[in-house]
Structure 1
């Protein structure tokens, strides 16, 4: 077995612009991840052009650095043609991987663009072994694990990932999200900037009205840093350590990457790891915490200031007064930053992302083969035609014709700087097919013998024209007292299982065995024992149908022959996602995401024999967190979350924005902490706006306290919804009188 010190871990760095990518390479990154100006989850970064990408690939590969491209957003139907056009270009690059969130994009890559290696984005919220198995069936080669996991949990997932020939990567430095990635909707709901579209406006960093516990920034976490945990990460088998920061500047990237490169080198040399992380405090930070990784989720993870902590940290080391400390620290940091920027700029200015120039020389005469000499900055090669040049034909070889035929070379890491046809006899001809073969050989020789992939014409999915029966009602509950709510109606009754399945396992099994028509609704997050007990639940209860917001549970249900519906938090927004779930995992239906607008929903094509669902009424969950959200708000007697917190804690509170908009914090027994919008979602319009698409409309009648009030009991509310779906003329008006205030802004604005 190879010793830990001998096993090298990839150091993966962010590249929000060309200078940052150069800085990462100069500092010793093994790989960089970057995005183009579309389809990536950092729209606020400068990003790069396609031409830039080709030069970056050339520079990086010469420096033994890999390049991964982020296509890690959800993609709406109208964007699919542009995405396919881009994939047809990317498949002929030397990219080392594509980072993906959307299930439809995964489907396209798996079925049509097999030359591109697939990496699962952190936006897929991968935290259990079932999700690893799911992703392996879609050809994923690497997965970025959820940031909330401990070393022990990472260890378990990495073992399973390696059995599936999947590499694991872990974020080790940079911003911490308070919410599990991929299921955060606070920016989307409050401002229309979806985190699933790379537009997060970071409202968790905003100032709120001072909380009872005295905090102005109650949702703001310190930055993540596992600098002192490198040995433990190495021993866990992790393949890549990833630095966050695609909106950070080049000097930040260089400083952080260099510090991590030096720490890695100490590990490889068998030396003691450094306990000095002072260089990391010289660039932007919100102070550091490794609490998720250590499995000790404490109040110390929060910091009541989202701005740069560097000066405050440095000032703590001085002896003079606090005010003098801070001014002195700011001056010292300014000087240090200026020196760093100057030093790094001198290094990256030596690195060029210019594409390599080619000189192509054609020679030959009638009766002999065409001779093509290709000269690069690194050498030359010759390609000859199989057949001889002729004196008659359709189009004579000349510089214009050759340049037009070889123009696709300019979309690679090379460009044609000079074309020389002086040695070519005038008015000679070569069959088009023969010249195409020469072009393909040139491409292959320039691109490490990789064959050119001709444009792939992906067949567009056809809409199922089968008439959909009148849509039914489905109801989501979470209280055992409501299990008879659907009596007297044809409504399906979904019961939400908690995140902490283990704490309530026996009661849940008994309830579902007693109420066989009750349909289990699995949450997005199921970690460790809770995932294992959820699988045991499936095996014991053997339901005929489930709703799952967790891909691990979905995969297991498919393997067990249990019918399943994809829940609304799987972020399904396009037809290829539906096709992916149906073809690969036997999915019988799916909720369409509530993030998208009327027009975006209309574009979706339902597969044959497949049911579509839509939630028309629900409390809007803005985020789900593994952290305690009360410590900064009302306070909590515990400094650290323990085993009883998830199972036993039940409380609620509010925080209020500076615009006087309240947000509701809810912690139900067995569940993680959640923040809900103050106003619930109600969208009766979609029922008539888009007929003949949805099989069922869902209403969420869980006991979640928000600013929306119900003027009758939930049984009465359910009855009015049934009436509305059956066409009762005044039922819609009654719903809006009964349930108020409400919003459907997402349906109007979309993403």
Structure 2
């Protein structure tokens, strides 16, 4: 049988990490109190990290650190400082979302292994190649994929020396990860910053289907699908739950460990998942993985379902049975908590003592013996010890001399000062023994520093000492000498005529699925050379292959893409490409990564950030900056049917015809009676849009000579926003704005309403 699959557990706080280790996790992913996508978790401090690493490694468990948010410009210096610190630890890998941070780690911090976060929503083989170029060693395949799609991506990853992981238990997100802006727009809490307020779990006004929680999915559990996952070649199965308590982590990890062990020892699976129902759950489904995306994946209650499930097994979910079930579960939970507390009571992350013994005589090498509670090792100098005098010491050594010993002489004070950084590891210096060191001897202090570095290296389990890199300071480019141009996004063939009626660039939005329309689209692009293909964020399986084929057949001079897989294809084919707004670009290093690694011609700056966060971004050489100043605000995109719980559908499950042919629209209203608009058009996945479109004319005056082009989205997407002019008239109004015409902004405000630019004011 192939190499045993890794069990990857969540660790929201120290006790959860200990519980995961006690339950048999092969690896734990956890976050610091900054730069991670679970700010609601307790998280760990940098001070705790070395102790956690030592504890985990003692139990053959790896630690992956989550730094998986987009990082704004003002934070990059602190992020680089953190990377310097992490280089001096034994952390087994870091999980990243931000492309700029990928670039920094891959280029300067080579010792840190990069895992691509679920926030990058990796779902096609082009994205595997893209992430490989950025330095990833592992990718998380997105939760929406079925087992055949997972298998294909895993084989591509393995062919490129990458491993794969997949979530197999815990919360399902309704939206593709990294492409969900609903919390950011509605609550000012960005999911791309780890601050998601989970509006998809909120109560809404009762829908025509009688549902109060129409966006709420059951939890993910592939407990009975392990055989297929192993056959697909997946390297790691990942449990979600960094905001869960330690007893939850222990129970779920232990159940999965027993399942994995049973499979590898006997080739069979445990058929009872009762334990998983006794901790927090919203009922379970593995329908994305099995490819049966159906209405039964929803549950009209976001709270814990464990008591209801237990009551149903004991005669029905009556009020009395539910109360009895709650008492039973409480008693079991109390027992589990006590049991786990006993198991982890001896797990310490406190620093452990080091005893350092230094010995040596004149004419011989200096010996440094290091003893920890678990091991000991000896290091020697490269030079022989010589008599201490002023002639054999350089000026730099003399500046570090300790006053209590003769000048340039080895003594307790000098060793204490030079070895002080050992206290920043998972250890502390308990004693320095110089009893066997002959007095009045000298050795170049640089050799002592080399020995210190080697000690740190051994304590961290590293093979070689690491020199901290120097990251060059980025220089802000000069302002552009010309006015920005205008680009227009359309999605209807009836609007293609605009190419001949305006000087603006016209981009045609490619649907998620090209089934039945690919030939027509190819002919449209060939006949209209000015028309620029704009590729969507999600392109799965054959839909991705069809999009690549469209690229091959049309050979456009330029494209815009929100999909990194298509970006990789354009890069390898020498096609000029622009990174769309869903690349979530918010810092200078992301721009540098796109330009240096993929020869990107331009990139949209994310609409999530505010004017001050935009202002300090430094444009890379020969890279154009783009920004969308008008568009319907897409809150989320889902592979699930969003209409099942709202207006209903005669079909139980989503099939190919649903994606390629369905045209429906509806809305839901939150408890404040504010609508969100659901749209499903032929060839596209379900999406939810904000009630008001985004209009930001302020940025044109706020940042003159910064952007090469501003974009407006004139696709026919229904929201509350209304435009009084036709599309050509609307384009002319925006052209007037960019050419500095007086009152252009006021005219646009009168023509297009209601609108919002809250994100530009608020940021992330």
Using structure 1 for the length normalisation, give the TM-score.
0.97
Aligned residues: 747
Q: Tell me how far 1:454 sits from its aligned partner.
A: 2.5
2:35 is the counterpart of 1:39: yes
SS state at 2:350 partner:
coil
336-345 or 424-433, larger mean C-alpha shift: 424-433
Q: Deviations over 1:296-345 (max 9, x none)?
A: 00000000000000000000012377111111111111111111111111
Distance 1:379 1:142 in 2: 32
2:169 is the counterpart of 1:156: no
Q: Tell me how far 1:432 sits from its aligned partner.
A: 2.2
Q: Which residue of 1 aligns with 2:395?
A: none
Q: Do 1:519 and 1:543's aligned partners in 2 also have CA atoms closer than 8 Å?
A: yes
Q: Do 1:185 and 1:195's aligned partners in 2 also have CA atoms closer than 8 Å?
A: yes
2:531 is the counterpart of 1:518: yes
Distance 2:644 2:727 in 1: 33
Distance 2:155 2:369 in 1: 50
Alignment of 1:171-570 (within 5 A): 171-319=167-315, 322-364=318-360, 369-385=365-381, 386-393=383-390, 394=398, 395=401, 396-424=409-437, 428-465=441-478, 467-570=480-583
Distance 1:24 1:54 in 2: 17
Aligned-residue Cα RMSD (Å) equals 1.4
Q: Which residue of 1 aligns with 2:93?
A: 97
Pair 719,345 (structure 1): closer, same or farther in 2 beyond 3 Å = same
631-640 or 455-464, larger mean C-alpha shift: 455-464
Q: Do 2:385 and 2:441's aligned partners in 1 also have CA atoms closer than 8 Å?
A: no
2:742 is the counterpart of 1:729: yes
Q: Deviations over 1:184-215 (max 9, x none)?
A: 00000111110001000000000011111101
Distance 2:241 2:666 in 1: 32
Alignment of 1:556-635 (within 5 A): 556-635=569-648
138-147 or 432-441, larger mean C-alpha shift: 432-441
SS state at 1:502 partner:
coil
Distance 2:115 2:341 in 1: 31
Q: Deviations over 1:135-154 (max 9, x none)?
A: 11122111000100001111
Q: Which residue of 2 aligns with 1:701?
A: 714
Distance 1:254 1:336 in 2: 13
567-576 or 455-464, larger mean C-alpha shift: 455-464
Q: Which residue of 1 aligns with 2:394?
A: none
Q: Do 1:370 and 1:389's aligned partners in 2 also have CA atoms closer than 8 Å?
A: no
50-59 or 226-235, larger mean C-alpha shift: 50-59
Residue 664 (structure 1) aligned to one of 669, 674, 677: 677
SS state at 2:516 partner:
helix
Q: Do 2:604 and 2:626's aligned partners in 1 also have CA atoms closer than 8 Å?
A: yes
Pair 320,203 (structure 1): closer, same or farther in 2 beyond 3 Å = closer
SS state at 1:503 partner:
coil
Q: Tell me how far 1:294 sits from its aligned partner.
A: 0.6
Distance 1:666 1:321 in 2: 36
Q: Deviations over 1:332-361 (max 9, x none)?
A: 111111111111111011211123210113
Q: Tell me how far 1:447 sits from its aligned partner.
A: 3.2
Q: Do 1:369 and 1:389's aligned partners in 2 also have CA atoms closer than 8 Å?
A: no
2:144 is the counterpart of 1:131: no
SS state at 1:343 partner:
helix
SS state at 2:517 partner:
helix
Q: Which residue of 2 aligns with 1:111?
A: 107
Q: Deviations over 1:436-477 (max 9, x none)?
A: 122123223333353332222200222222634100110011
Q: Tell me how far 1:17 sits from its aligned partner.
A: 0.5
